[in-house]
Amino acid sequence: MLTVAPTSNTPAIEFDSVSGVLTISGKSIAEDSQEFYRPLIEALTEYKKQPRLQTTVNLKLVYLNTSSSKSILDVLRLIESLKENSEVIINWFYEKEDEDMLEVGEDYCEIVNLPFRMVEVDSL
């Protein structure tokens, strides 16, 4: 289990390798996003050796900067490599009025070969 508490610049991360559920929520504007996401990349790399039959990713981001966007793409590409051994589900949550975050999710959906479910919510 990887748990990272949120800060004003970084999202909360919860990755339970036993259940195969990853949730990233909050704002991601870390100065060094590669360093921030490194523990998650390491945990996913280890998880890839024996993934669950189903892997669920819940992305509940309210904002992310360019650096974080690249790091999230790195995470998604690693998750994409799980498809051979795990059914992968990506839930992209976005606030009802936030067209920008909906578009970010749609952009990721076009870049990686993963099934995205766009989930509109009143508030994140």
- What are the extents of the domains in the chain? 2-121
**Taking 90 as the threshold, does the pLDDT of residue 78 lie above it?**
yes
What's the pLDDT tens digit per position in 33-45?
999 999 999 999 9
Pick 2-121's CATH classification: 3.30.750, 3.30.1370, 1.10.101, 3.40.190: 3.30.750
* pLDDT value of residue 39: 97
For the record, the structure tokens of 85 come out as 């051994």
- Confidence band of 31 (pLDDT split at 50, 70, 90): confident
- pTM for this one? 0.92
Percent of the chain exceeding pLDDT 90 equals 92
